[in-house]
Amino acid sequence: MAVAPSGSRVRIVARTHSGEVTHEGILLAPASPGHVTIKLTNGYNVSYPDDSVSSCEILSEAGSESEQSYFTPEQDSSLPEVWILHTGGTIASKVDYVTGAVAARFEPEELLDAVPELASHARIRTRKLGNMWSDDIRTQHWNLMMEAAADAFDAGAAGVVITHGTDTMHFSAAAASYAWAGAGGRPPGKIVFTGSQRSSDRGSTDGTENLLAAVHWAARGPEPSGEEGDTSVIIMHAGSDDGMCVVLPGCSVRKFHSSRRDTFAAINRNPIATIRVERGGACEITLSDSYSESYNTVRTISKLPIKFSPDIRILQLLAGSHMFADQIELATNGGYDAILLHGSGLGHLPIEDPNGDAPENTELLEAMRSYCAGGGIAVMVTQCIHGPVHMDVYSKGRDQQALGIIGNHACCSPDSALIKLHYLLSVAREKELTGPQIRDCVGDGWASDLCGENPASIPN
């Protein structure tokens, strides 16, 4: 029933079991063949079979996006300056009325147009770094974000907000933490990552409150210490309901749910703060007791972030019944710089054959022995997510240490560990270290707490 092109505003009358209903909205590509689908003004979609739609009136033809104009609220010169660095993701997405899909194609200026309350928190500047789904972000994009942040701080910004897709936001936030504070310094201002689990065209979007809270923290939050996981932070919804956002340490975060608005949680650390977002856009920060008691700024300010080497290759392997020796051999033959092992429990690999019926385990042991003896770097994290690696408890763990596997007693979360390993290898490459020097660089760094990722004690 193609009575108008997708993107047109229409009014339909449809027959249902409860009688006729009337809806107005934007005509989308049909959700399935033989249906009419429209987007309602509340952001939700409705679909009806063609044969149940008795009429479809065209209210206006589909418009051209190039004809849109954006409202830019007046900026208060007395407020702190905050840069919004746009990388893409759901927070900056809208529906494509031709296909019905959600497309990452909001321009940064549209954020101000959509959320004019931002202007009451800070003087907003925007820079578009790309329109990428976060799954496509790689090392060079971390460097791009940090270069843009450095430009913002040089221009006098109090903080930066990086709008980012949520799927890999925690990796980029960890990269920012190590880049600015891994060498013992701290950034010149606040670095905030935020995003949205629900696209901005939906009635249930969480992007508006997340963005307001993020800009408020970037403008008025405490100066980062570089030691308490606050070098960069992630700010998203604290729960399923509106009104409260949580500030999480960027170097110790995990995405736990594919669709919930409170998708992120701190790993082996407490949240840094909460931010209440009132109707009308007012925000109030409450620091957590653990953070406010230990907060300090004794570190010197880093002038520039350390760059990640884009050509470093890390092989990640998951310990279990499908781990084999040839996977270890791939690290050498494939030119990988290191292996990150996601061990079971306290950090274990399947390397023993007590029943004599699992020769794969013995082969894996010998492959790991050969790899480490040849100078290969293998670092252990735990699949358990929370808790430390502890390879002293069982004999298997002690055997793994004897092989040369690094990581005992570390509390770094599995996702942050990948970025920390990449950071340490980048440092080694920048210093032109070779052979055992690289291993010492990684080993010493792994035993250290560079930016709050490896706390001496973890919350219960």
In this structure, what DSSP letter does residue 79 have? S
- Of the candidate ranges 64-68, 177-181, 222-226, the one whose mean pLDDT is the lowest: 64-68
Report the CATH fold assignment for 66-294: Rossmann fold (3.40.50)
In this structure, what DSSP letter does residue 365 have? H
Decide if 255 is catalytic: yes
Spatial CB neighbours of 80, under 8 Å, sequence gap ≥ 6: 122, 123, 157, 158, 159, 218, 219, 220
Quick check: 286 pLDDT over 60? yes
Decide if 166 is catalytic: yes
Q: What is the pLDDT of residues 346-358, one digit of tens each?
A: 999 999 999 999 9
Across 211-222, average pLDDT: 96
Report the CATH fold assignment for 9-63: SH3 type barrels. (2.30.30)
User: What is the Cβ-side half-sphere exposure of residue 349, based on CA atoms within 13 angstroms?
Assistant: 31
Spatial CB neighbours of 434, under 8 Å, sequence gap ≥ 6: none
**Which alpha helices (H) appear in 334-435, and where do they start and end?**
359-373, 395-403, 414-430
Closest of 173, 103, 109 to residue 137, by C-alpha: 173
Per the DSSP assignment, residues forming a β-bridge with 255 are 264
**Is residue 224 a contact partner of residue 299, using CB atoms and an 8 Å limit?**
no
DSSP 109-159: HHHHHH-GGGGGT-EEEEEE-----GGG--HHHHHHHHHHHHHHHHTT-SE
Q: Is 279 exposed, middle or buried (0-12, 13-18, 19+ CB in 10 A)?
A: exposed
Which one of 37, 87, 90, 163 is the catalytic residue?
A: 90
Q: Which amino acid is located at 161 in the chain?
A: V
pLDDT recorded at residue 37 = 87
pLDDT recorded at residue 386 = 93
Which one of 39, 94, 190, 255 is the catalytic residue?
A: 255
Per the DSSP assignment, residues forming a β-bridge with 95 are 102
What is the bridge-based pairing of β-strands 45-49 and 35-40? Answer: antiparallel
| Of the ranges 25-34, 74-83, 247-256, 292-301, the best mean pLDDT one | 247-256
d(CA 390, CA 46): 53
% of the chain exceeding 70 in pLDDT? 91
CATH no. of 314-447: 3.40.50.40
d(CA 156, CA 306): 20
* Banded pLDDT at 70 (limits 50, 70, 90): low
CA distances from 215 to 86, 103, 132, 304 (A): 13, 24, 21, 22
Spatial CB neighbours of 286, under 8 Å, sequence gap ≥ 6: 273, 274, 275, 276
Mean pLDDT of the chain: 90
d(CA 216, CA 84): 12
**Is residue 128 a contact partner of residue 86, using CB atoms and an 8 Å limit?**
yes
Quick check: 99 pLDDT over 60? no
* Banded pLDDT at 133 (limits 50, 70, 90): confident
Which one of 39, 163, 167, 263 is the catalytic residue?
A: 167
Decide if 90 is catalytic: yes
Which one of 37, 87, 163, 166 is the catalytic residue?
A: 166
d(CA 138, CA 171): 10
Start-end of CATH 3.40.50.1170 domains in the chain: 66-294
pLDDT recorded at residue 25 = 86
Start-end of CATH 3.40.50.40 domains in the chain: 314-447
Q: What is the pLDDT of residues 179-208, one digit of tens each?
A: 999 999 999 999 999 998 866 555 557 888
**Lookup: tokens for 215:** 């800009």
d(CA 110, CA 92): 8
pLDDT recorded at residue 2 = 56
Collapsing DSSP states into helix, strand and coil, what is residue 329? helix
Strand order in the sheet with 378-382: 314-318, 338-343, 378-382
pLDDT recorded at residue 66 = 42
% of the chain exceeding 90 in pLDDT? 69
